[in-house]
Amino acid sequence: AQSVTQLGSHVSVSEGALVLLRCNYSSSVPPYLFWYVQYPNQGLQLLLKYTTGATLVKGINGFEAEFKKSETSFHLTKPSAHMSDAAEYFCAVSDNTGRRALTFGSGTRLQVQP
Amino acid sequence: DTGVSQDPRHKITKRGQNVTFRCDPISEHNRLYWYRQTLGQGPEFLTYFQNEAQLEKSRLLSDRFSAERPKGSFSTLEIQRTEQGDSAMYLCASSLPAGEASYEQYFGPGTRLTVT
């Protein structure tokens, strides 16, 4: 069985500060990992994904994440927060079976203070 | 391509009533997924289709829930005899059928169900 743990249900940063959202996963097979963002009353938008290859992946809106197998982590970072980054962020792992369903963490709400 | 659409966006119903939600996936995507998201939690997998075939149902999907995807296009999710515990956001997602891109799921805006 797969699982995702997101440390910190709420993170608050100042505008212009570094954003770091933590994600650890558990998977019995090589994982495919994702970060999604959800704005209020909207669906989820894919920020970035790791499947194979380069362990540092870049996504939209200046976000990036690094897959660290030894630490079973896939933390999301952004060098400089913008007010528009305020949202809920979800880390997810895909099972590599035929169904490819996503298992999500419980989410981290990012607040950006002016 | 306008993305995944869901209808209605909001539904308020009384306990015991039946409700039906619709999802229209991205046109070339033959995989379609349903997830449920309760307040403060991440989405949880309910079921998925490849074309018109429903290939798997989560144990979260009780016998009051039924999903269909006639002709492999849009999908419907019906909940019979709704209970207050059914109150949640129901999300639909679609993806391409094969290859690495099939791991990318595109989500609709969701249907928020409130059972009173």
The pLDDT score that the predictor gives to residue B1 is 55
DSSP E strands: which ranges in B1-116? Answer: 5-7, 10-13, 19-24, 31-37, 44-50, 53-57, 65-68, 75-79, 88-95, 106-107, 111-115
- Give how far A69 is from chain B: nearest CA, Å: 19
Q: Answer yes or no: are the C-beta atoms of B89 and B110 closer than 8 Å.
A: yes
Tokens 């540092």 found at:
A56
- Looking at per-residue confidence, does A52 or B114 come out higher? B114
Contact call for A92 and B42, based on CB within 8 A: yes
pLDDT at A102 > cutoff 80: yes
Among candidates A32, A42, A101 on the partner chain, residue whose Cβ is nearest the Cβ of B45: A101
Q: Calculate mean pLDDT across residues A9-38.
A: 94
- 9-38 of B, contacting A, C-beta below 8 A: 31, 33, 35
The pLDDT score that the predictor gives to residue B17 is 98
Q: Residue A6, SS3? A: strand
- Looking at per-residue confidence, does A83 or B40 come out higher? A83
∠ Cα A60 B88 B82 (to 5°): 150
Residue of B nearest to A41 (CA): B109
Q: Calculate mean pLDDT across residues A57-82.
A: 96
Q: Name residues whose C-beta falls within 8 Å of residue A36's C-beta, 6 or more positions apart in sequence.
A: A44, A45, A46, A47, A89, A90, A92, A104, B107
The pLDDT score that the predictor gives to residue A52 is 84
Task: Going residue by residue through chain B, which has 116 residues, state the pLDDT in tens, using 9 for 90 and above.
Answer: 579 999 999 999 999 999 999 999 999 899 999 999 998 899 999 999 999 999 989 988 889 999 999 988 999 999 999 999 999 999 999 998 777 777 889 999 999 999 99
The pLDDT score that the predictor gives to residue A108 is 97
- 48-87 of A, contacting B, C-beta below 8 A: 49, 51
Q: How many CA atoms lie within 13 A of B94 on its CB side?
A: 22
C-alpha gyration radius of chain A: 14
The pLDDT score that the predictor gives to residue B103 is 81
